[in-house]
Amino acid sequence: MTTGPLVPGAVNLRDVGGLPAQEGRTRAGVLYRAGQPGRLGASGRAALAGLRLRRVIDLRADEEIASAPSVFEGLGVTVQRVPLFLGSVGSFFADDVSLSELYRHIVDDAAPAVVEVVRGIVADQPVLIQCTAGKDRTGVTVALTLAAAGVDEEAVVADYARTETFLPVRRSRAVLGWLRAQHPDARNLEDLVSRSPAPVMRELLGGLSARFGSAAGYLEAHGLEPDELRELRRVLIERGESSQHSRG
């Protein structure tokens, strides 16, 4: 595990390599997850270039990109737009949905988009999945991808739960204060802005297993072909390491 930020100045950018899986562990340097990188200094730009990304899958809505354009445009990286919310981002704060409700909305209403993300991962590597904070849209799609590839469920949950430790506290407080002024009676704002509780992801994966047999079954039920699933596992999983190994 790295001791410092992978890309200085980037929000919640990390490699999901080294997670234990049924047939080995996830490869390092293949799949990254992040929030919107934003303005980076010279060291951050150099570190980002050092990842040698071939594809960035941007899950943000049009209004988010308008206010914070992708830093990858024009850099020779394929930028794949896959807006993951069918409604506006603001509507989820206004409706005061819980994280569990938000995640069910993603898997139920945006399943074709989730499959499109997985196909993007299969198409090019190294690949980075990003949204604004790298917490919810990114968290759900990365979790489903890892679970479908055969990563141990508790490792998938733990990777998701780590997110809140990577979010800048000052930024989260500022966003929460701004939203609280607009929605003074909302109960779920703090969770939506800055929390990634393990039980929420465990509940989501358990629900998909009950309905579809597994995360892989969910993806196949919504159009992912068996050969695409096999290719996902090939590119993400490094064979030969026992699933008892932990991220080190």
- All domains in the chain, ordered by first residue: 14-233 (3.90.190.10)
User: What is the pLDDT averaged over residues 219-228?
Assistant: 98
User: What is the pLDDT averaged over residues 224-240?
Assistant: 96
Q: Which residue has the higher pLDDT, 246 or 192?
A: 192
Token readout for 48 is 């980002």
Nearest to 131 by CA among 140, 143, 144: 140
Instruction: Tell me the HSE value of 143 on the side-chain side, using a 13 A CA sphere.
Output: 32
Predicted pLDDT at 39: 73
- Please state, for a pLDDT cut of 70, what percent of the chain lies above it: 92
Q: Which residue has the higher pLDDT, 89 or 217?
A: 217
Residue 176 sits at φ, ψ, to 5 deg, of -65, -40
Q: How far apart are CA 93 and CA 85, in angstroms?
A: 13
The pTM score is: 0.90
Does residue 217 contact residue 120 with C-beta atoms inside 8 Å? no
User: What is the pLDDT averaged over residues 54-73?
Assistant: 88
Q: Which residues contact 116 (CB under 8 A, 6 or more apart)?
A: 80, 82
Predicted pLDDT at 114: 97
Window from 15-24, 141-150, 170-179 with minimum mean pLDDT: 170-179
User: What is the pLDDT averaged over residues 21-34?
Assistant: 95
Token readout for 209 is 């297993």
Instruction: Give the three-state DSSP class for 56.
Output: strand
Window from 5-9, 52-56, 76-80, 148-152 with minimum mean pLDDT: 5-9
Predicted pLDDT at 248: 37
| pLDDT per position as a tens digit, 168-188 | 777 778 776 777 777 777 787
Nearest to 39 by CA among 79, 9, 74: 9
